[in-house]
A and B are shown apart, each in its own frame.
Chain A
Amino acid sequence: MTLSSAADTPPASKVSRRDLLAGALVIGFATKNAAKAWAAEPNVPAANSAAGRGSGSDVPNFGLNGFVRIGRDGRILLVMPSTEMGQGIYTAEATLIAEELEIGLDQLEVVAAPPDAANYAQPLFKAQMTGGSTSIRGFWTPLRRAGAAARMMLVAAAAEQWKIDPEDCVAHRGVVSHAPTGRALAYSALVDFALRQQLPQDIPLKAPKDFKLIGSPLKRIDTPAKVKGAAIFGIDVVVPGMKVAAIAMCPVDGGRLRSLDDTATRKLPGVVDVIRIDDAVAVVGDHYWAAKTGLDALQIDWDPGPNAAMSSETIRNDQKTAASAGTPIKGLLNGDIDAAFAAAKARIDAVYELPFLAHATMEPINTTVHVRPDGCDIWVGTQTPVVAQLLAAKITGHEPEKVVVHNQLIGGGFGRRLQADTIEQAVLFARQVKYPLKLIWTREQDIRHDRFRPAYYDQIAAGLDEHGSPIVWTHRVTSGTVRKYFNAGGWPEGQLDKDAVDGSWDTPYDFPAIRVDWIRHDPPVKLNWWRGVGPTHNVFVVESFLDEVAHFAGRDPIDYRRHLLARTPRSLAVLNLAAEKARWSDPLPPRSGRGVSLHKNFDTHAAVIIEASVAPTGEIALRRIVAAVDCGIQINPDTIRAQIEGGLLFGLSAALYNGITFQAGQVQQGNFNDYRQLRINEVPPIDVHLVASDAHPGGMGEVGTVSAAPALANAVFAATGIRVRRLPFDRAMLATKDSA
């Protein structure tokens, strides 16, 4: 299998609609107007592809939901609606189509969809976005229907040729055959006949028992090029005539460029231009090093603007004040809270705090843009190609269809590239020059000018009956809203941002009375999605506090949870499986402990048990991790395991080490030395156990991350008796008195 490796395909700009009509079968689904399904408009080719430089392929911009393109040359091209950023989505989405199309993964090519919400919108968002662990949940049916519709038309075409009943034909590995007569035709030979078939209205899909590909640990289609260094990420794009820019940005968000002396810079060899926007300066060079050297020679005076005095202390104090003085917005209210607390035999309260977090993807922010009088090309890895297109159209004055977004493989997304602020910046610079311009941020800029996972202040309480069981539960979240940045016109005052309470108002547990609400307090810091924003925050608070309550009641934390799961048998099953596999009750050495977390976000149920030990110095060592996961129907069990393994460690990196802090308006962290990440020597064995299920597929990308911090915090409590209510973990708090 190759990734868009059709080097022999002519540039799409030279491909007429007629050629495409004649040469390819283009299949849509849920087609309202069958004739339009064939209306493959010419599109601009991707200059670079995952298979390597120079092997770019053309992407027809299909008239209607075109996921399948079959050429008379034998090529089968699948258009991927979701962005590949490591999660394995190209393989999973190709598997869904191939299952019904009756081809193998070795027979197909994939290519990133162009910005085209009408055809490639994520059904769960109704927008063309990759995030929120939605890809498979939303495309599970549409992609199988696209594959099935194509197969039905190919089979019908063969049957018509042979003047037999389509029911008597079989499709297998790209060939339609008729066993009684021994006749067979490849899909490529059927294209012209299939073009004349009507799109089927009734598209039956396989029963799970008939799956050949779905459910198998098939090899990923994007990895062979990646191990050879041949895969092209956005930062690797090379466009003829391209120049490279290094940039300086105002160190305080909201500040402006006051003055600039570029005399010395302009004299340096390899420096091509110095260009500026309101809050940044770019030095353009023949190569990155010339640009970087030129940047270091600039004399820049910044006006830091209104956030010059901002610090973590002021932000935290303001948030605490808002938590007591702000107006709560209702999330969930069941039962009479006051009466239940009055009846409770005991009440416990706690406050939890979580920091701002950066994304720190391995691939630093970069964008390549060519603005011309007749249009604009953008080469970038983005989770929101339509947003990128519209922003560039607005800035350049071009019609959106003149802005071509060549979406690239992303070296880690984690939500960062759901915002297009960096693309906007690149276009603002690139419109000032005639050549294609590649902008590359440094690691320090990537972290300091990130848009952050919000900081949270949580007040949580429970009332217990005489058996220690919770009869009332309240949780108040105070935070800014991420949705403000994704909703035209901002986020309305007084309206619930569901993300703020996700993972809290939908726990697996049965609480007779429950209140979950949110106090909105937007900090003077720009916010963004992250890996499982709402659930990653709320499940840490809920699962840590439930552990507190269980210990208060003198009960085993797993047994305590079991009694609250009468209405969520899938959650109970994964909890029991994890406890069994982790040997929950086996004794451990001193200052070692096991902690559990359980949640059911993204339509997936996950129980994780972490075993950790805490040194007298307070240092935490991870010993073992066991996960039990029920995500419904599994598309690729190996990818699911990989997402759980990586997602857990991603969450643990943040819990152990990460928090963005501010001083004099500036982010204090900047690189992997002070924004640490887990390294291989810190990583314990991880066992992932999957539960077979026929339920609709659940999301995977964020599940492990959500489970991580609470399981570790509960393990640390089991090891030390110390409850960590603030992230990242404070080692000094965990040290014994002797070593303090």
Chain B
Amino acid sequence: MLTININGDDHEIDAPDDMPLLWALRDLLLLTGSKFGCGIAQCGACTVHIDGRPVRSCVLPVGAIPGRKITTIEAIGATDAGRMIQEAWLGHEVVQCGYCQPGQIMAAAALLARNSAPDDAAIDAAMAGNICRCATYSRIRLAIKAAAKA
């Protein structure tokens, strides 16, 4: 049994060390907000925070994270940056199909938490790892800037 800390709570999970965090979240804890998109850290749909930093949970073995604090999309609204990003996302009507948006929001919230006024270059650097096939990119950029001003 492994103990992992998710959204402030410790959870005991029966999982092999090499199981990616994504599948532990989705299949063992039923936290399905983090999405499976590519499995090789190419699309960012699975993004969660470890100690506030965005990571791709599809390639992160659960054996590597005991003692670290994981935050997922289900709880990011409890942080200032997460809440502001979610509100800006709705205000600018970013979302289309929405499948990638938990990952987009996690990446954006991490950016906003460390950079209160990101410029275009900072947004590109923080967000270029997150693919959106509905291509909501223009609105993502606007919403991040709006959240920064909020």
Name A's B-contacting residues (CB within 8 A): 53, 85-88, 217, 219-220, 222-224, 226-233, 235-236, 238, 244, 269, 287-289, 293, 360-364, 409-414, 440, 442-443, 638-639, 642, 645-650, 653, 671-673, 677-681, 683, 685-686
Question: In the complex, what distance in Å separates the CA atom of A226 from the CA atom of B94?
Answer: 10
Q: Is the CB of A363 within 8 A of B35?
A: yes
7 closest pairs, A vs B, by CB?
Answer: A229-B33, A411-B99, A86-B97, A226-B98, A229-B73, A649-B135, A287-B27
CB distance from A388 to the nearest CB of B (A): 19
- Contact: B133 with A677, CB < 8 Å? yes
* B-side contacts of A364, CB under 8 Å: 36-37
The answer on a CB contact under 8 Å between A412 and B133 is: yes
B77 to chain A: closest residue by CB: A228
- Tell me, in angstroms, the Cα distance from A86 to B45 when the chains sit together: 16
Query: With the chains together, A542 CA to B75 CA distance in Å?
Result: 50
Is residue B101 within 8 Å, beta carbon to beta carbon, of the partner chain? yes
Q: List 28 A-B contacts (CB under 8 A).
A: A53-B32, A88-B96, A226-B98, A226-B101, A227-B95, A227-B105, A228-B73, A231-B98, A233-B99, A244-B27, A269-B16, A287-B23, A287-B27, A288-B26, A360-B133, A361-B99, A362-B133, A411-B99, A443-B38, A642-B139, A645-B138, A646-B134, A671-B40, A678-B137, A679-B127, A681-B125, A685-B138, A686-B138
Q: A residues within 8 A CB of B90?
A: 219, 223-224, 227
Name which residue of chain A comes closest to B58, CB basis: A443
Tell me which of A360, A362, A409, A653 contacts B35 (CB under 8 A).
Answer: A362
Contact of A683 with B98 in the complex, beta carbons under 8 Å = no
Per DSSP, chain B at the interface is loop
A683 touches B137 (CB 8 A): yes
User: Known contacts A642-B93, A680-B128, A681-B128: does B74 contact A228 (CB below 8 Å)?
Assistant: yes
Q: Of the candidates A229, A288, A410, A677, which one forms a contact with B97 in the assembled complex, judged by CB atoms under 8 Å apart? A: A410
Residues A672 and B38 in contact in the complex (CB < 8 Å), given A288-B27, A681-B124: yes
Residues of B39-74 at the interface with A, using a CB-CB cut-off of 8 Å, are: 39-40, 42-43, 45, 72-74
CA distance A679 to B20 in the complex (A): 25
A672 near B20: Cβ-Cβ < 8 Å: no
Per DSSP, chain A at the interface is: loop
CA distance A293 to B133 in the complex (A): 29
Which of B119-145 touch A at CB < 8 Å? Answer: 123-125, 127-141
Question: Does B135 contact A409, Cβ atoms closer than 8 Å?
Answer: no
B16 contacts A645, C-beta separation under 8 Å: no
Q: Which residues of B contact A228 (CB under 8 A)?
A: 33, 73-74, 77, 86
CB B144 to nearest CB in A, in angstroms, measures: 10
State whether A86 touches B36 (Cβ < 8 A). no
A288 touches B23 (CB 8 A): yes
Q: Does B28 contact A (CB under 8 A)?
A: yes
When the two chains form their complex, are residues B95 and A220 in contact, meaning their CB atoms are under 8 A apart?
Answer: yes
B140 touches A680 (CB 8 A): yes
CA distance A235 to B136 in the complex (A): 22
- Contact residues in B for A645 (Cβ distance below 8 Å): 135-136, 138-139
Residues of B bordering A, CB below 8 Å: 15-16, 18-20, 23-24, 26-28, 30-40, 42-43, 45, 72-74, 77, 86, 89-90, 93-102, 105, 123-125, 127-141
Pick from B19, B23, B99, B125 the residue with the most CB of A within 10 Å: B99
A680:B123 contact, CB within 8 angstroms: yes
Bound together, the chains give a CA A286 to CA B143 distance in angstroms of 40
Quote the shortest CB–CB distance from B48 to chain A (angstroms). Answer: 10
Task: Please determine whether A672 and B39 come into contact, CB atoms closer than 8 angstroms.
Answer: no
Other-chain contact of B30, A53, A671, A673, A686 (Cβ < 8 Å) = A53
When distances are taken between beta carbons in the complex, the residues of chain A under 8 Å from B136 are 642, 645-646
Pairwise interchain contact A362-B96, C-beta atoms closer than 8 A:
no
- The smallest beta-carbon distance between B142 and chain A, in angstroms, is 10
A440 and B26 CA atoms in complex are apart in Å by: 13
B35 to chain A: which residues have CB within 8 Å? 233, 235, 362-363, 411
Q: Which residue of B lies closest to A679 (CB)?
A: B128
Tell me, in angstroms, the Cα distance from A665 to B18 when the chains sit together.
33
Chain A residues, CB < 8 A from B42: 671-673
Partner of A642, one of B27, B40, B96, B105: B96
Which B residues are CB-close (under 8 A) to A235?
A: 32, 35-36
A residues less than 8 Å from B129 (CB atoms): 679
A85 touching B97 by the CB < 8 A rule?
A: yes
Chain A contacts for B94, CB-based, 8 A:
223
Chain A residue with Cβ nearest B127: A680
Q: Are B135 and A650 in contact (CB under 8 A)?
A: yes
- State how many angstroms separate the Cβ of A450 from the closest Cβ of chain B: 13
On chain B, the residues within 8 Å of A231 by CB distance are 98
- Is there an interface contact between A680 and B97, defined as CB atoms closer than 8 Å? no
Q: How far is the CA of A362 from the CA of B95 in the complex (A)?
A: 13
Instruction: Report whether B45 and A362 are in contact in the complex, using a CB–CB cutoff of 8 Å.
Output: yes
Contact A223 B138 (CB under 8 A): no
Closest Cβ of chain A to B92, distance in Å, is 9
Q: Within the assembled complex, what's the spacing in Å between the Cα atoms of A293 and B20?
A: 11
Residue of B nearest to A231 (CB): B98
A673 to B40, CA, bound (A): 9
Q: Which residues of B contact A224 (CB under 8 A)?
A: 90
Known: A219-B93, A289-B15, A680-B128. Contact between A409 and B138, CB under 8 A?
Answer: no
User: Chain B residues with Cβ under 8 A from A238's Cβ?
Assistant: 30, 32
CA distance A679 to B134 in the complex (A): 11
Cross-chain contact of A646 among B26, B39, B45, B96 (Cβ < 8 A) = B96
How far does the Cβ of A332 sit from chain B's closest Cβ, in whole Å?
33
- The one of A223, A289, A677 that contacts B23, using a Cβ cutoff of 8 Å: A289
Of A219, A289, A639, chain B has the most CB atoms within 10 Å of the CB of A289
Chain B residue numbers with a CB within 8 Å of A227 are: 86, 89-90, 95, 98, 101, 105
Give the shortest distance, in Å, between B147 (CB) and chain A (any CB): 12
Q: Which residues of A sit under 8 angstroms from B18, Cβ to Cβ? A: 293
Nearest-neighbour CB distance to chain A for B125, whole angstroms, equals 8
Q: Is the CB of B96 within 8 A of A86?
A: yes
Tell me if B138 and A232 are in contact (CB < 8 A).
Answer: no
Q: What separation, in Å, do the CA atoms of A362 and B127 have in the docked complex?
A: 16
Name the residue on B nearest A238 (C-beta).
Answer: B30
C-alpha spacing A85/B129, complex, angstroms: 23
Q: List, in ascending order, chain B residues with CB within 8 A of A646's CB.
A: 96, 134-136
